Amino acid sequence: MKLNVTLTWSRIVYGLIALAFLGVAGAFLVAWSGVYSVAASRGHPGWLNWFLELGMRNSVEANARQLEVPDLDDPNLITLGAAHFQGGCAPCHGGPDEPVNPIYQAMLPVPPQLNEHADNWKPSELHWIVTHGLQYAGMPGWAATKRTDEVWAMVAFLKALPNMDEETYLTLAGGNANLAAPDVAELITEGLSTSSLATCAKCHDTANGPPTSNRVPRLGGQSETYLRRALADYSANRRESGFMEPVAAEISEAQMDEIAAWFANLDSPTHADNTLADADLDAGRQIALDGVPARRVAACQACHHSNGSTAYPRLSGQSAVYLRNQLELWRDAPPSDTAHAELMREAIGRITDEQIRDVSAWYASQITEASAADTSSATTGPGE
């Protein structure tokens, strides 16, 4: 009896192996013969749509389960996400009162209209999808996988999108830029210029207003050398940003020169909201001028002084939130691999969250470069 049971199980195992082999062989023959049409216009059979949808949803849910979700009601996050969505996502996914472009409606599967379907996903699931993209759907992953802060901005916008009307959407997406439709002459002679979808003014400062989000740097008054290098680094994928890399990649060398010169000569307003709760400005000033030797933190003013080298950005008057975010990125996940990156990694040392908060708030409190220079002259820090 025992021998018969053993033989039965052996037959089952061998039978399953044989079926698996026949299935693989059959799939190979179908692929080799070309009998199955891969035309997007043909669509998928119902059973295949069900199978792909089941696998996709369960995969996203399983992989996104451990993500910790931040506060997504922050209007600065929503505004930043809106600017990128309008230029990078709306052509495929449409927007409020803006249908999906007919070119992308012919994709398989058709990209969903996100103002109608974004709330079908949890925030953590949206974050995973935006970060990694989706196979078999034409959905690309984020251009800078380390920049989870940027992805959360997109998620904040997507969660707000289903309840957003057209006017609010265009206001948020436009920022300081003019996104008005071109007149007939411009439309005929120039077409729909992609540069209008990737304009700097959608996020950054202009002569008439500060950056649209406290998570965006103020570029006015930065050195032309620094701005030109930053654009080149983003364009060449040496510096990570899912917002900046796609924009910089579309800009010519001559346009980079012009943009850098324009912002360098711009005297723009500082950020309006420049506070961090519980920040100690005196401690921040000490870090900026003298560093924290015990934690191998260099004096920030050694490089970022308003009268210092044009190779480094000037920090005075920047948003405290932006500065804090950048310092945390340098400490926890360096955002670039440029010639200056190693120097910054060494300079940041083992700085704490509290020290980052304090020095960010101090620099934000220095309203103009002149006031920063006057303050820094009171105490001489290393390297000055």
pLDDT digits (tens, 9 = 90+) for 296-330: 999 999 999 878 789 999 999 999 999 999 999 99
Structure-block tokens of residue 368: 């103009």
For residues 361 and 275, is the Cβ–Cβ distance under 8 A?
A: yes
Determine the Cα–Cα distance for residues 228 and 223; give it in Å rounded to an integer.
9
Determine the Cα–Cα distance for residues 217 and 315; give it in Å rounded to an integer.
9
What b/e sequence results for 367-376 when a residue is b if at least 16 CB atoms lie within 10 Å of its CB, and e otherwise?
eebeebbebb
Q: What is the mean pLDDT of each run of 10 residues along the chain (384 residues)?
A: 62 83 86 86 88 93 93 95 90 85 86 91 96 92 92 97 93 82 63 58 90 94 95 92 92 92 89 86 97 96 87 93 94 75 89 98 77 39 29
Say what the pTM is: 0.85
For residues 268 and 205, is the Cβ–Cβ distance under 8 A?
A: yes
The predicted structure's pLDDT at residue 378: 37
Amino acid present at 222: Q
The predicted structure's pLDDT at residue 30: 83
For residues 212 and 202, is the Cβ–Cβ distance under 8 A?
A: yes
For residues 317 and 222, is the Cβ–Cβ distance under 8 A?
A: no
Return the SS3 of 216. coil
CA angle 327, 333, 334 (to 5 degrees): 70
**What is the crossing angle of helices 253-264 and 224-235, to 10°?**
140
- Comparing CA positions, the residue from 177, 159, 71 lying closest to residue 115 is 159
The predicted structure's pLDDT at residue 232: 95
The predicted structure's pLDDT at residue 177: 82
- Domains of the chain in start order, with CATH, are 67-166 (1.10.760.10), 219-268 (1.10.760.10), 281-376 (1.10.760.10)
Instruction: Tell me which long-range contacts 289-296 makes (C-beta under 8 A, separation of at least 24).
Output: 289/376, 289/379, 289/380, 289/381, 290/379, 290/381, 290/382, 291/381, 291/382, 292/349, 292/351, 292/355, 295/349, 295/350, 295/351, 295/352, 295/355, 296/346, 296/349, 296/350
**Cβ neighbourhood burial of 155 (10 Å; 0-12, 13-18, 19+):** buried
